[in-house]
């Protein structure tokens, strides 16, 4: 359930978000990559790799991770952390599914 202090923004229909492929969504000036995992869950992270700015929505998804298409950095979609030995982190966004719609929560 969403608290009164939480803002929801519609991402789109679950049918428009194919499994294991990224979709770029804009939130104001921000660009976010949204993924539908093979588990059926949805994850959203900022759409630029902290290493060289690779676009995550173009990366390969495996389990709970996305691989940067430029240098293959592995990013956890749950917490945004880069897998060691590389270092860095990207912002994550909460998502929620209601009916057939997927929302950002912030």
What is d(CA 79, CA 75) in angstroms, rounded to the nearest whole number?
9
DSSP per position, 36-94: E-TTS-EEEEESB-TTT--BGGGSEEETTEEE-TTT--EEETTT-BBPTTS--B--EEE
Report pLDDT for 73.
93
Position of tokens 């945004």? 80
Range 92-104 average pLDDT: 94
- Name the CATH code of domain 9-105 (choices 3.40.47.10, 2.102.10.10, 3.30.1490.100, 3.30.110.60): 2.102.10.10
Report pLDDT for 6.
72
Range 12-22 average pLDDT: 90
Sign of CA dihedral 77, 81, 84, 87: positive
Q: Where are the domains of the chain?
A: 9-105
pLDDT in tens, 30-82: 899 999 999 999 999 999 998 888 999 999 999 999 999 999 999 999 999 99
């Amino acid at each position: 359930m969403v608290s009164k202090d939480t803002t929801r923004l519609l991402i789109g229909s679950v049918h428009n978000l194919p499994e294991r492929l990224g979709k770029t969504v804009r939130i104001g000036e921000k660009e976010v990559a949204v993924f539908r995992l093979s588990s059926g869950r949805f994850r959203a992270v900022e759409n630029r790799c902290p290493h060289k700015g690779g676009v995550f929505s173009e990366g390969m998804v495996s389990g709970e991770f996305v691989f940067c298409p430029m240098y293959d950095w592995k990013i956890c979609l749950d917490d945004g952390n880069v897998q060691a030995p590389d270092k860095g982190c990207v912002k994550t966004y909460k998502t929620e599914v209601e009916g057939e719609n997927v929302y950002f929560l912030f």
